[in-house]
Amino acid sequence: MARQNKTKKIRNFRLSLIDDETHKPLVVARFTRASLIAYVAGAAALVSLLFYVLIAFTPVRTLIPGYPDARAKRAAIQNAIKIDSLELLVSRWELYSENMKRVFEGEPPVRLDSLIRQMAGADRPTLSESQIKEKDSLLRISVTREEQFDLSASGSRNLYIEGMHFFCPLKGVISQGYDPSIHPFIDITAPANSMVSAVLDGTVIASGWNDESGYVIQLQHQNDIISIYKHNQKLLKKVGDKVSAGEPIAVVGNTGALTTGDHLHFELWYRGEAVDPTKYINF
C-alpha cells in the first residue's frame, strides 16, 4: 500500500465587521495564527515605545512619584543650607552653655578665637623655641638676599584687594546679602535686559550653561581674584576673551533652576576664598 505524504494544512482566519441592518461587510481582515502573533507583538512594542518616548522626553515624567524635578533639587539644597545653619546654631549654644557652666563654677570662660586656633593647630607639629628662632633666621636671610638682588620684584605691581578699584557689576538693589557660612555671595535685583559689567580687567575662563545657575560667566583677574556672574539671560563673551573693567559681559536674567526672578548672582573670590563684595564695591 503506497504511503501518502500528508501536508500540514495552514488554517486561515477571517475577522469581519458587518452592518447589522444591511448585513454588508464593512471591514474584512484575513490572517493566520502566525501573522496574528506578529501583529500583537508589533502593537505591544509600538505601545511600549510610545510610553517610553512620552515619559523620557516630556514633562509627564515629573508626575511619577519619587522622580526628582527642579523643585525637589532646589528644596534639597535649601534643606542642606538650613541643616548647616542649624548645626552652627547648635554649636554656638553648646559653647554658650559651656561658658555659663564655667562661670558658675568660677572658671574662666572659653573664648571662640582660642577654640579656632586650637582646631587650626591640632595637626601641626609643635616646635621648640630654638627651632622657631632658627627658622626665623633662615627666613630673614632669604628675604635679605632677594631684596639685595631684586629677585622678588616683578613687572607688574601686585596690590592687595583693599587697594584695588572695582567697577560695579550691576546697578540695582541687593536682595540678599553676603553670609560666609550659608550665603557666601550676593544677589542683586535689577530690571530685565540690564547690562552686567566686568568688575576688573581680566580674561573669560568659563562661559556657558548650567542647569542650576543658568547662563554663567567667570572672569580671572590679576592678584588671584575671580569674579562669577550667574543666572544671566544672555552671555556676550566667550572663553578666552579679554575684557576691561566696566565692559558689558552679559544681560541680567532669570535662567536656571535656583532662581525666582530677574537678578544677578555675584561671587568674588580672592586667593581661593569667597569674600564679601560689598566691602570693596559701591553698589
- Condensed to tens digits (0 to 9), the pLDDT of residues 35-82 reads 888 888 988 999 988 888 877 777 666 666 666 666 666 777 777 777
The pLDDT assigned to 227 comes to 97
Q: Give the Cα separation of 110 and 226 in Å (integer).
A: 37
- Is the pLDDT assigned to residue 243 strictly greater than 70? yes
Cell of 174: 541687593
Distance of CA 277 to CAs 166, 228, 271, Å? 9, 11, 14
Q: Helices (H), strands (E): how many in the chain?
A: 4, 12
The pLDDT assigned to 122 comes to 47
CATH fold of the domain at 165-279: Glucose Permease (Domain IIA) (2.70.70)
Cell of 234: 544672555
Domain boundary assignment for the chain: 12-56, 68-116, 165-279
Q: Give the Cα separation of 48 and 123 in Å (integer).
A: 60
- Condensed to tens digits (0 to 9), the pLDDT of residues 195-227 reads 999 999 999 999 999 999 999 999 999 989 999
- Is the pLDDT assigned to residue 250 strictly greater than 60? yes
Q: Which residues on neighbouring strands pair with residue 251, listed in sequence order?
A: 195, 234
DSSP 8-state assignment for residue 271? T
pLDDT category of residue 33 using cuts at 50, 70 and 90 = confident
The pLDDT assigned to 259 comes to 87
Strand, coil or helix: 277: helix
pLDDT category of residue 9 using cuts at 50, 70 and 90 = low
For the residues 87-107, what does the mean pLDDT come to? 76
Residue 216's H or E segment, with its range, is strand 214-221
DSSP 8-state assignment for residue 179? B
pLDDT category of residue 84 using cuts at 50, 70 and 90 = confident
- Is the pLDDT assigned to residue 134 strictly greater than 80? no
Question: In terms of DSSP H, where are the helices of the chain?
Answer: 33-56, 70-104, 112-120, 129-149
pLDDT category of residue 240 using cuts at 50, 70 and 90 = very high
Q: What is the mean pLDDT of the chain?
A: 79
The pLDDT assigned to 155 comes to 45
Which residues lie below 8 Å from residue 125, measured CB to CB, with a gap of 6+?
none
Q: Give the Cα separation of 72 and 19 in Å (integer).
A: 55
